Amino acid sequence: MDRTEILIQINLIFKDTLDNEELVIMESTTANDIEEWDSLTHIQLIVAIEKTFKIRFTSKEIQEWKNVSEMIDCIKSK
Amino acid sequence: MILKKGDNFKFGFKVTQEIHTNFIGLFNDNNPLHTDHQFALNKGFNGRVMHGNILNGFISFFIGECLPTKDVIIHSQEIFFKNPVYLNDELSFNATVIETYESVNTIVFNFTFKNDKEKIVAKGKIQIGELI
């Protein structure tokens, strides 16, 4: 799966998890850009991403992400 | 993580008159399906149907009190009511860990409630987080 396809999937996951159909996630997006992205929805997002891509992250990996681009790098590395 | 995939828990719960009365007292759901025997019979049931959300109370007890740690929080829960539960029904609750997400300290259970005829009366999923 290339970056664009991953980003499309991530957009679907964010829209569903955050109940916001108008949300547009870009590689540069950070948690600070999205009001609904709080600590609890963060957990739901990670669970949904791990489930969708059939991968598992470590807590260290997640803590190192600065934006969605780094999240995609991590997904691609699995 | 406190639990691993495949861990299984079994408990018995009884829907007593006290639980039924207290549930109505707390939440004021006096719908005749739950309170009027004849009404329930006329609708094709064998008696007053107990509130489905009493089962959520049992789930709350399971998560809050029966796991190896108290450091837990329910993230989400989904429950399907498959068959009626009647007063004084004795239910067997069975929950199995089906997924774990170590990165966010999250555990997902599948659960069922069965009545004494081994019929599933409710089933669903519970997602919990381990508080650290």
Instruction: Name the domain count of chain A.
Output: 1
Decide: B101 and A55 in contact? Cβ < 8 Å. no
Taking the model in full, what pTM does it have? 0.90
pLDDT per residue as tens, chain A (78 positions): 899 999 999 999 999 999 999 999 999 999 999 998 998 999 999 999 999 999 999 999 999 999 999 999 999 999
What residues of chain B, 64 to 123, have a C-beta less than 8 Å from chain A?
Answer: 75-76, 99, 101-106, 108
CATH number for B8-130: choose from 3.40.50.300, 3.90.1720.10, 3.10.129.10, 3.40.50.10190: 3.10.129.10
Tell the residue number behind the tokens 């598992």, with chain if given: A56
SS3 B84: coil
Mean of the per-residue pLDDT values for chain B? 97
Contact A46, A74 (CB under 8 A): no
Q: What is the DSSP string of A33-77?
A: G-TT--HHHHHHHHHHHHHHHT----HHHHHH--SHHHHHHHHHH
- B4 contacts in chain A (CB < 8 Å): none
Note down the domain range covering A61.
Answer: 3-77
Bridge partners for B113 per DSSP: B93, B122
Do B103 and A58 touch, CB atoms closer than 8 A? yes
In this structure, what CATH number is given to the domain that contains residue A29? 1.10.1200.10
As to burial, measured by CB atoms within 10 angstroms (0-12 exposed, 13-18 middle, 19+ buried), residue B112 is: middle
* CB < 8 Å to A40, chain B: 75
Which site among B72, B78, B104 would you substitute to test the A interface, given the most A Cβ atoms closer than 10 Å to its Cβ? B104
